[in-house]
């Protein structure tokens, strides 16, 4: 069996450069079309909420800040709970399911702060903004009903949603990489399935013996 070396692989891929180019073009095109027509446009609205320990009385001490950090992580879990998301869906003026809210809304805690970030991503900028507003509206009541201490306040009004998708360039890059990989695999297996010897270099690599002479082609 012929040894696989970097040189031999390079020769294989150079001989099949049209295959590689075709894989790159098809992969990039298909993934780009998928991003545009299947994923579609995405808009994200984001708002920050401040968590404060009610026992602090407005005084920022190390103990009160530590308590706020603990409350922040607890609040994130509560806001992502199914019951909370159901209340968000019910408070929306647009008809929407809990599953759609769960897929769209993301709640995260900023590290080492008493801040919560709420974001909503949908195909409609106004819907994304409305979801963030709904979370801010019901959050104080829901959290007060579960946790007896602490309060949460939205920082300002929810700004207009910004366009965050589709990521055509990123999708095309993934498609190019995958298309190139598949083309290289196809080119390699096409080569090893071909048992004909193509040239003196390949013959010497296979036999590892010196070449005494050649019979010229008469064609």
DSSP character string of 156-213: SPPPPPEEEE--HHHHHHHHHHHHHHHHHHHHHHHHHH-----SHHHHHHHH-S----
Place of tokens 């994200």: 44
Phi, psi of 108 (to 5 degrees): -135, 155
Structure tokens at 194: 């071909």
pLDDT tens for the chain, 219 residues long, are: 456 788 888 988 999 999 999 999 999 999 999 998 988 899 999 999 998 876 545 545 556 666 677 788 889 999 999 999 999 999 998 899 999 999 999 999 988 788 999 999 999 999 999 999 999 999 999 988 888 777 889 999 999 999 999 999 999 999 999 999 999 999 999 988 877 766 666 666 667 677 666 666 655
Domains of the chain: 6-38+181-206 (no CATH), 41-165 (3.30.70.1130)
Q: Where are the alpha helices (DSSP H) in the chain?
A: 6-15, 17-33, 62-79, 82-91, 98-104, 125-146, 168-193, 200-207
* Whether the predicted model's global pTM rises above the 0.85 cut: no
d(CA 126, CA 174): 30
- If residue 121 lies in a helix (H) or strand (E), which one and from where to where? strand 115-122
């Amino acid at each position: 069996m012929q040894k696989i070396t970097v040189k031999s692989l390079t020769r294989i891929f150079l001989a099949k450069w049209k295959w590689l180019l075709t894989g790159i073009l098809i992969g990039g095109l298909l993934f780009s079309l998928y991003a545009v027509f299947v994923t579609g446009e995405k808009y994200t609205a984001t708002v920050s909420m401040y968590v404060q320990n009610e026992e602090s009385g407005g005084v920022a001490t190390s103990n009160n800040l530590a308590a706020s950090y603990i409350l922040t992580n607890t609040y994130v879990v509560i806001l992502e709970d199914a019951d909370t998301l159901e209340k968000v869906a019910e408070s929306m003026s647009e008809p929407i399911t809990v599953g759609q809210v769960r897929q769209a809304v993301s709640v995260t805690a900023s590290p080492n702060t008493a801040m919560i970030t709420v974001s909503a991503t949908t195909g409609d900028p106004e819907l994304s903004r409305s979801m963030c507003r709904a979370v801010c509206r019901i959050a104080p009541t829901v959290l007060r009903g579960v946790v007896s201490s602490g309060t949460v306040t939205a920082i300002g009004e929810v700004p207009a949603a910004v366009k965050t998708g589709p990521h055509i360039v990123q999708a095309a890059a993934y498609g190019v990489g995958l298309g190139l990989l598949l083309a290289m695999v196809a080119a390699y297996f096409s080569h090893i399935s071909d048992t004909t010897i193509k040239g003196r270099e390949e013959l010497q690599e296979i036999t590892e013996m010196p070449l005494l002479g050649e019979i010229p082609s008469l064609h």
